Structure 1
Amino acid sequence: MHDIRQIRENPEAFDAALARRGLEPISAHLLILDEQRRAHIQLAEGALAQRNAASKQVGAAKAAGDDEGFERLRATIAKNKEKIAELEEARRNIEERLRQSLLEIPNLPDADVPDGADEDDNVEVTRWGTPRALDFTPVEHFEITGVKPGMDFETAAKLSGARFVLLRGAVARIHRALAQFMLDTHTEENGLVEHMTPVLVRDDAMLGTDKLPKFGDDSFLTREGYWLIPTSEVTLTYSIAGDILDEAALPRRMVAHTLCFRSEAGSAGRDTSGMLRQHQFEKVEMVSITHPDHSRAELDRMTNCAQGILEKLGLPYRTVVLCTGDMGFGARRTHDIEVWLPGQDTYREISSCSTTGDFQARRMNARFKPAAGGKPEFVHTLNGSGLAVGRCLIAVLENGQRADGSVILPDVLAPYLGGKMTLGADGVLS
């Protein structure tokens, strides 16, 4: 959410930043609402001053026996009371219109974010590893012989419909091992504090983390009014809503492994085969709460944490900086990490790490107390996948596949798989 005072001070810069996202100027509309709001505040304050002055005089008029003056002053007080109520109601309506308008405007991109229209304009900044040379034609994860017994889309469709999968046996165990490996790495090596959060949240949590009102159609809403979280970014970030943290407590680095739910409303026809794009999936999510001066460095740190998981797994990847036309609604800057999938002969996103600046903090009034004194300031919030577990499973299976339909698994998973490092063509670990 944006600060109307900053827009008021430099509307041209605000519109120019939105133009980089391909949006039309909007500051004039916002400033009209802001001017109307402030005008109603001044009128209400004037009416209140008149009422207070009349209230002081009414007692004197009664004591002096001035019945006519007494009644006139009483009428003035009553009239001003009604006027104040009308002005306050009008002000609240204008403030709500202004608030709704501000809530629907995306974050402004950082100055060093590349300009562009879509993903074709993203800029590659890192590439690690070399895709394995294969003497056979690789297939996608769901076509690998040894994977088929443990990746059941037909039964999942019977249970829940399209875009669900039922994992069983060895494949389910590998999926679980990946999540445990990610959590252990982030907590033991990267200094993140593990959390287990709810997956059902109220409107305020979705609103505070910029998922509402923009992305309501992309999420699932229960009959009881709870939202199923699209990622634990929502719960981890909103856990500090309304708080004033000590500067010494920053940064606060958190991680959680949860189920995630997305309606995928805007992805009809995309990635319909396999488990690349699902309504229900699991993710290990990283969230950092930082001092404003340190958020850019924290973004690089978070990106390195996610990249480190892929490097330990031996999975080739590349990292790109998203251009202004491809960035998410709440982001100031985003680093997407794309893992190599030999079955598709391309890189696909497996992690997205973003800094939102104070965009989310302003929505949920999350601040910190400067150590040097002064008024509380808004914290900066960051989020990133560390990693999407299902997509990581896909990458492990496709990169480790062999011509006979078996899969060689990464060495770092050995402690989680009882030392069994091969998924046989029969679907059994050995």
Structure 2
Amino acid sequence: MHAICLTLPTNRACATTISAIAAEAAHAAGHFDVEVHLLILDSSDPATLSEHRQAVAALPATPHVVVHHLDESEQRAFLRAVVARADAPKPDLLLDLMLPDRVSYGACTNRAFLIAAALGCRSMHRRDSDSAYQTLDGTPVFPIHHELMSLGRPAREASAGVSQTILDPALAAEPVVLVGSSFVGELSVDIGEIRRLDPEVYYDVVGLWAPPGWSDERKRELVDESFTGAGTAPFVADHSLLTVVDPMRVDMCNVAFDHAVYERVPLPPATDTIGSDYFLLHLIHDAALPGVLHNRNIVNFYTAERRTDPGFAAYQTRLTKFFLSMLYFEFIYDRMAAAGDTLLDDERHVRPSVIAELARESTRADRTDNIDRLRSLDRSYRRLGGRYAEFADTLATRGPRLLDEVQEDIEDFALLIETWDSLVRASRTTSLHEPHG
């Protein structure tokens, strides 16, 4: 029996999701020889945190399922102990990168990676609080079933448990390091209103994450594919594919990683930036490491908070920073793709130093394209009018600072990569629940 970590990061009310993910944990423990550490990383307000504590307390005891519900003070105590034990440079900055005071999709997953290491887990399985499971004949179809069928096994062994294999036979001895799927339901990015208001503006906005040199036709193909997941078709039967997984086919609410990857390279800890947690999907693809793509898609939905004026402004800021971050990620992704399996060392492990250097190189990119992106967003939002025009006014003031922030985010990422090994090793010898001085 080995340990796995099924994690749910949240900053919103999600008692129903907590119950549902506990059922997934029970399924895993009941069908596989694993001990499941169900990890809830809670950054909610005090009232919501209290609701979640009650939901956790009401969960039925399940053999081989251990529940860890950590608020931010508990997470911070653990991280402070890890950073101190790692004896890494800039400890205060590292602690801020691991637990910033703003939303960070990468940082919350990085915390799960370190806690998984502390718990001795061999894999980390991530879900989101604004999602639910599909059902078949009234029974939930849990992604973890596919994940545990393949993750960590040599590809030649994993091939017996999938529907189809299109993996290069030369990779047959390589372990499966990624298993994932997508979502059905609402767009993963909350921009459906823009498409309804003005389809052409929608194409202009979403097209901003394409490299500027792309043709209009290629940009439109990207826009048509972007943020739609697996559409709306309901689950009817299992299908799984052993392959080098296309990052565009996986959502971070429905993914599992083997420790051999996430203990080598973290996710970008960028704040207020959607998409910052997708980096490992690209790294695994470009290094041609085996994965499994399945079709147990999770149901995506929006919470009420996004519909409020503050929620709207916050989300549009995250979207803007995503577009601006692509200046740097395009550079990194292009060079990772060119590097191929030279991203790996002689033992076929990812080489963190190479990724860190690419990140640092990217920060020297000319900002002209990002200045153009801000101008394009300004035009698009003013054309939409209403609260979009109001956000354009905010963007006009904050734009120059956002240009600096996205570059600083990449610099922070490089630093975190360089210190990640020491943080992982320190985590392995740091107790999660004992008091930390």
Structure 1 or 2: more helix by fraction: 2
TM-score range, shorter chain: under 0.3
Larger Rg: 1
The structure with the greater share of residues assigned to strand is 1
